[in-house]
């Protein structure tokens, strides 16, 4: 059956659905394509996730202003994950089964993604996930537009050893991303002849950082590798400076601090430290200048763009391209079409890898400046093929470690704190 016939059948089906959901008499062009946006608007992760919602909505608005997709407008349904795993699961189920959305754009923490992953797979639905993460995962129902470990974590370790030192202290929030990211980091530090002097965690949302900073002060590493997420970073960096630890002496390389976090946390305690991402607002390309200008016109000149925002933004466009190619927003057809998509995004050329649903991306390392922006000090110069399972261990070994973590936490993806 050729694509023209399939498209015709799809239009007839949507006409019938239009009668069912909206009442007969409406043309297919009057029936919007509903999409879900599932992020934390409240709680400890709101500092990071709310800007991603804004960028996602901006992409939807831009597409609608150009006529929508297949002559239909996109209708976003925004729900609050409340920085709570059970809420993420409940809202994902509702968006799919009750709201009947065609796709969901959402999640930040790996704990939230891990929690909703079985729901998307059960319903054979589609999630676009916009944040760098620990890898060790591959789902036919998730498109990963953030970085895999070899596109952020591993290059940052290599660069740090070459430029900052070989003695490391690891800190993180106590959930699946920092735990598995630091396992990867330790493997590569050892392989490259470095040394890990300490490894400490705090619960998500906690400000209990005093003991961690005391341990850092005692061992005096060359570099701190930071996988703390959310507003806990404010307490951590403040305590570092109170203890006399400054970037010139012991720099910190962060994996979850971007321009948006800096605009909220302030740069007073972070100037001179580093972060590894695929995108920075300071990137000087025509595509990025246009992206930044459009966002500032909507949100205010004082606002900044960041990596997860950009990944959330171009994810909408990749999905829209797949819908146009499929000739329908039917999830099954879009899942087939989305793996062929490429786009010249604000960060540069991005492409979905058909083997693993991850994105080819360029790696960049930035140094924090007083204005809350990053001076890009290194980049990979070309998009890097995503490798979700780091080759230093076998896929089965990684899965065993991941399952043990999940079991030890009482079948949860974050430390329950009990």
pLDDT at 20: 44
Instruction: Kindly state the tokens that stand for 383.
Output: 């998009």
- Helix crossing, 153-163 with 176-191: angle to 10°? 40
Q: What pLDDT, in 10s, does the model give residues 158-184?
A: 999 999 999 999 999 999 999 999 999
- Asked if 347 and 132 touch (Cβ cutoff 8 Å), the reply is no
Indicate the range of 17-31, 76-90, 105-119, 172-186 predicted with least confidence.
17-31
16 pLDDT higher than 50: no
- 257-303: pLDDT as tens digits: 999 889 888 888 899 999 999 999 999 999 999 999 999 999 999 99
d(CA 222, CA 220): 7
Q: What one-character-per-residue DSSP string does 63-89 give?
A: HHHTT-BTTB-EEEEEEE-TT-HHHHH
pLDDT band at 24 (very low <50, low <70, confident <90, very high): low
Chain mean pLDDT for the chain: 93
CA distance 416 to 203: 8
Least confident range from 1-5, 32-36, 230-234: namely 1-5
**Is 6 a residue whose pLDDT tops 90?**
no
Tokens found for residue 92: 């994902």
pLDDT at position 387: 98
**Domains of the chain (ranges, CATH numbers):** 3-147+285-360 (3.40.50.2300), 150-283+364-408 (3.40.50.2300)
What is the spatial distance between Cα 315 and Cα 151, in angstroms, rounded to a whole number?
17
What's the pLDDT score for residue 223? 98
Say which DSSP state 43 is in: S
For position 239, what pLDDT does the model report? Answer: 95
Q: Which pLDDT score is estimated for 339?
A: 93
Q: Is the pLDDT of residue 218 over 50?
A: yes
The alpha-helical segments, DSSP class H, found in 171-258 are: 176-191, 210-219, 232-242
């Amino acid at each position: 059956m050729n694509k023209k016939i399939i498209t015709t059948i799809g239009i007839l089906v949507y006409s019938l659905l239009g009668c069912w959901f909206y009442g007969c008499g409406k043309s297919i062009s009057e029936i919007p394509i509903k999409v879900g946006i599932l992020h934390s608007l409240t709680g400890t992760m709101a500092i990071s996730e709310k800007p991603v919602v804004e960028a996602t909505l901006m992409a939807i608005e831009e597409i609608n202003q150009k006529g929508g997709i297949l002559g239909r407008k996109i209708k976003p349904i925004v729900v609050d994950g409340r920085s709570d795993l059970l809420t993420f699961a409940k809202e994902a189920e509702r968006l799919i089964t009750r709201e009947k959305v065609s796709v969901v754009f959402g999640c930040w923490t790996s704990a939230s993604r891990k929690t909703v992953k079985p729901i998307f797979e059960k319903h054979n639905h589609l999630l676009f996930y916009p944040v760098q993460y620990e890898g060790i995962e591959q789902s036919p129902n998730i498109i990963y537009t953030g970085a895999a470990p070899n596109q952020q974590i591993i290059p940052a370790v290599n660069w740090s050893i070459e430029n900052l030192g070989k003695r490391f202290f690891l800190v993180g929030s106590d959930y699946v991303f920092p735990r598995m990211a630091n396992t990867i980091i330790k493997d590569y530090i050892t392989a490259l002849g470095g040394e890990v002097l300490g490894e400490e965690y705090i619960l998500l949302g906690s400000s209990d950082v005093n003991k961690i900073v005391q341990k850092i002060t005692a061992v005096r590493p060359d570099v701190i590798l930071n996988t703390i997420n959310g507003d806990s970073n404010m307490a951590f960096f403040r305590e570092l400076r109170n203890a006399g630890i400054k970037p010139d002496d012991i720099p910190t390389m962060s994996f979850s601090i971007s321009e948006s976090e800096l605009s909220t946390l302030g740069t007073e305690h972070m100037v001179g430290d580093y972060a590894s991402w695929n995108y920075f607002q300071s990137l000087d390309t025509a595509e990025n200048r246009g992206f930044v200008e459009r966002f500032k016109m909507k949100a205010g000149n004082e606002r900044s763009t960041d990596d997860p925002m950009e990944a959330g933004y171009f994810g909408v466009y990749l999905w829209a391209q797949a819908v146009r190619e499929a000739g329908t927003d039917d999830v099954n057809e879009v899942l087939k079409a989305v793996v062929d998509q490429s786009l010249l995004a604000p960060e540069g050329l991005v492409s979905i890898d058909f083997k693993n649903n991850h994105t080819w991306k360029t790696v960049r390392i930035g140094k924090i400046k007083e204005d809350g922006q990053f001076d890009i000090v290194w980049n990979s110069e070309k998009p890097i093929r995503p490798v979700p399972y780091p080759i230093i261990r076998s896929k089965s070994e990684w899965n065993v470690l991941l399952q043990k973590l999940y079991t030890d936490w009482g079948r949860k993806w974050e430390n329950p704190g009990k």
